[in-house]
Chain A
């Protein structure tokens, strides 16, 4: 198991948990409450910070001089990134369209949805790209 594979597994776990948290937390709290109470902002910020620290620690702990990253790793990374980008764009498109359709009659939308789209896209992008990466490694061997 080489370092890029290990990192992809760890990244998919960290950002998978973060994405699941964001979706569940936002679904439970709701856009109005999220905007109204500062506490919810602090809780979500703390979880996002914890995910970022975990990610940075993971990168530091797996950063060894003996790590070998070869041409096949770069090819897999490149393919996973391009597919991950496409999937992330589809996610943003679908989420935006769903929000448009559901809020069309009211003519307005809660601004906290912008926060949700921003952070969930960030977490989803990392999660899906690393998951595709893991898939390619398993599929190839």
Chain B
């Protein structure tokens, strides 16, 4: 059993870039998605893989396609 909540998956994301493009802070994105700023920070740093629902919410708020926000490294 893993003792860490870190899920360093084969995923990258462009949240930071897309957020900056919309001039949005982590706190604002967190409020709009209904999660905490710490969670957004962990996702941005690839320390946490969000659920599908949260991933879709983030993509919707950032007005991007989910594949543009999250990139799977095959």
* Residues of chain A whose beta carbon lies under 8 Å from any beta carbon of chain B: 2, 5, 68, 70-73, 75-76, 79, 82-83, 136-137, 139-141
Contact = CB atoms under 8 A, between A and B. Distances in A.
Interface of B: 1, 3-6, 30, 34-36, 38-39, 41-42, 47-48, 50-51, 54
A141 B47 CA distance: 9
Contacts of B48: 72, 75, 140
Q: Interface majority SS on A: helix, strand, loop or mixed?
A: helix
Given A68-B34, A68-B35, A140-B47, A75 B41 contact: no
Given A70-B39, A79-B4, A136-B4, 17 more contacts: A2-B38, A5-B38, A68-B30, A68-B35, A70-B34, A71-B35, A71-B39, A71-B50, A72-B39, A79-B5, A83-B3, A136-B5, A139-B6, A140-B38, A140-B42, A141-B38, A141-B42
